[in-house]
């Protein structure tokens, strides 16, 4: 009896296993058939949309080729306007990318994938916003560098004073400006700081005016001193038609009558100012010595009401 029950149970299990195998086989066969149906449907769709696909590829290829030639043309065109190669490359790359993106948009539109295009544009907008927030400092420096280049307010070789530093511009990149100070130290200043703060550029003008101060003894003829100093500076430093040497008495000092004399020089570099001042001081000293005009030392005269008190 026990063996009979075991035999019945075994037959039942074999029957269930067979049903499971049959279900799996039917499911596999159904999936296989669906896969081939999809492949054939894709094949039909590919054949149906083949002209649009070929036309899209042609449009994209033409836009890509056009971007390459446009990039070269923009670089050549900007070489006459923008001196820095980094700025020219940036503008040319932006123009090239815009042309390629235009080709992508046209190609996707020909394939009737408007929903995909909307998704790409939305994702691009969100990604652009995230990048702008993450790199706002770097972007600000980049746009400042482009602004400096396009407006031609600073150039390599100019002597500038900005953000507490002074020196000759060595290099202007998209992010920063390198300045070499007179003691040969290199200062790297972000372009954003240069644009947001006042700066003085000695290279923006061809002529600048400088001055020196001096003092003469109280016994000197003031009008003669003025004429002598003015003539000496005028002969040594050429002045243009609209320029003139200016002489002004400043004050009665403790030991001398002080004056300043202002004159124009070429503004090739700030070193010219130091050289001009040095040369002007030597010229003034030489002409004063030739005419016995005394430049006094700092002295102090003491006077007593009763001279006998000084002896005591």
pLDDT greater at residue 5 or residue 91: 91
Contact predicate 225/259, CB 8 Å: yes
How many CA atoms lie within 13 Å of 214's alpha carbon, on the beta-carbon side?
A: 25
State whether 104 and 120 are in the same domain: yes
């002045």: which residue's tokens? 239
3-class DSSP state of 180: strand
Q: How confident is the model over 20-48, as a mean pLDDT?
A: 62
Q: Looking at the predicted structure, is the pLDDT value of residue 152 above 80?
A: no
Write out the DSSP string of 57-111: HHHHHHHHHHHHHHHHHHHHHHTTT---HHHHHHHHHHHHHHHHHHHHHHHHHHT
State whether 103 and 194 are in the same domain: no
State whether 194 and 214 are in the same domain: no
- What would the two tokens of residue 79 be? 């070489």
pLDDT in tens, 202-257: 877 788 888 999 999 988 999 999 999 999 999 988 888 888 999 999 999 888 99
Q: Which domain holds residue 76?
A: 27-134
- Record the pTM: 0.52
Q: How confident is the model over 186-192, as a mean pLDDT?
A: 88
State whether 211 and 238 are in the same domain: yes
State whether 34 and 46 are in the same domain: yes
Q: Measured between alpha carbons, how far is 237 from 260 in angstroms, rounded to an integer?
A: 16
State whether 171 and 220 are in the same domain: no
State whether 212 and 261 are in the same domain: yes
Classify residue 170: in a domain, yes or no.
Answer: yes
pLDDT in tens, 274-292: 888 999 999 999 999 999 8
Q: What is the DSSP secondary structure assignment for residue 284, as one 8-state letter?
A: H
Bridge partners, residue 249, by sequence: 259
pLDDT at 259 (0 to 100): 94
pLDDT greater at residue 237 or residue 306: 237
Give the residue among 229, 225, 227 at the shortest CA–CA distance from 217. Answer: 225
Sign of CA dihedral 141, 143, 146, 148: negative
pLDDT at 35 (0 to 100): 65
pLDDT at 283 (0 to 100): 93
Element (H, E) at 168: strand 165-172
Q: Looking at the predicted structure, is the pLDDT value of residue 157 above 60?
A: yes
State whether 210 and 279 are in the same domain: yes
3-class DSSP state of 38: helix
C-alpha pair distances (Å), 298 with each of 215, 254, 302: 10, 8, 14
Q: Measured between alpha carbons, how far is 224 from 241 in angstroms, rounded to an integer?
A: 25
State whether 220 and 273 are in the same domain: yes
State whether 181 and 209 are in the same domain: no
Mean residue pLDDT of the chain comes to: 77
Classify residue 221: in a domain, yes or no.
Answer: yes
Q: How many domains are there within the chain?
A: 3
Write out the DSSP string of 138-157: HHHHHHHHHHHHHHT---TT
3-class DSSP state of 8: helix
Q: How confident is the model over 13-29, as a mean pLDDT?
A: 58
Q: Looking at the predicted structure, is the pLDDT value of residue 162 above 80?
A: yes
Classify residue 73: in a domain, yes or no.
Answer: yes
Classify residue 2: in a domain, yes or no.
Answer: no
Classify residue 171: in a domain, yes or no.
Answer: yes
pLDDT at 183 (0 to 100): 85
State whether 68 and 127 are in the same domain: yes
Give the residue among 259, 261, 253, 262 at the shortest CA–CA distance from 297. Answer: 253
Classify residue 17: in a domain, yes or no.
Answer: no
The alpha carbons of the chain give a radius of gyration, in whole angstroms, of: 43
- What would the two tokens of residue 48 be? 């149906």
Q: Measured between alpha carbons, how far is 304 from 262 in angstroms, rounded to an integer?
A: 41
Q: Measured between alpha carbons, how far is 51 from 54 in angstroms, rounded to an integer?
A: 5
Contact predicate 225/292, CB 8 Å: no
pLDDT at 43 (0 to 100): 58
Q: What is the DSSP secondary structure assignment for residue 240, as one 8-state letter?
A: -
Residue 166 belongs to a domain with what CATH number? 2.30.30.60
């Amino acid at each position: 009896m026990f063996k009979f029950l075991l035999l019945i149970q075994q037959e039942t299990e074999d029957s269930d296993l067979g049903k499971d195998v049959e279900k799996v086989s039917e499911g596999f066969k159904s999936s296989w058939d669906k896969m081939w149906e999809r492949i054939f449907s894709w094949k039909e769709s590919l054949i149906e949309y083949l002209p649009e696909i070929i036309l899209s590829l042609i449009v994209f290829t033409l836009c890509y080729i056009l971007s390459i030639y446009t990039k070269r043309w923009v670089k050549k065109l900007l070489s006459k306007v923008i001196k820095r190669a980094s700025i020219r490359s940036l503008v040319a790359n932006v123009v090239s990318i815009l042309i390629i993106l235009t080709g992508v948009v046209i190609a996707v539109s020909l394939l009737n994938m408007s929903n995909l295009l909307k998704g790409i544009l939305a994702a691009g907008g969100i990604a652009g916003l995230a990048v702008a927030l993450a790199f706002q400092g770097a972007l600000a420096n980049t746009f400042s560098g482009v602004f400096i280049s396009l407006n031609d307010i600073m150039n390599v070789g100019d002597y500038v004073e900005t953000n507490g530093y002074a020196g000759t511009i060595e290099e202007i990149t998209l992010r920063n400006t390198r300045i070499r100070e007179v003691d040969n130290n290199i200062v790297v200043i972000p372009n954003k700081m240069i644009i947001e703060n006042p700066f003085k550029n000695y290279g923006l003008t061809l002529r600048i005016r400088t001055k020196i101060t001096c003092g003469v003894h109280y016994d000197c003829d003031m009008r003669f001193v003025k004429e002598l100093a003015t003539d000496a500076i005028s002969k040594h430093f050429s002045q243009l038609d609209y320029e003139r040497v200016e002489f002004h008495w400043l004050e009665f000092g403790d030991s001398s009558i002080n004056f300043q004399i202002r004159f124009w020089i070429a503004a090739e570099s700030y070193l010219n100012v130091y050289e001009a001042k040095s040369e002007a001081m030597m010229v003034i000293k030489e002409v004063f010595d030739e005419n016995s005009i005394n430049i006094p030392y700092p002295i102090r005269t003491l006077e007593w009401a009763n001279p006998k008190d000084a002896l005591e």
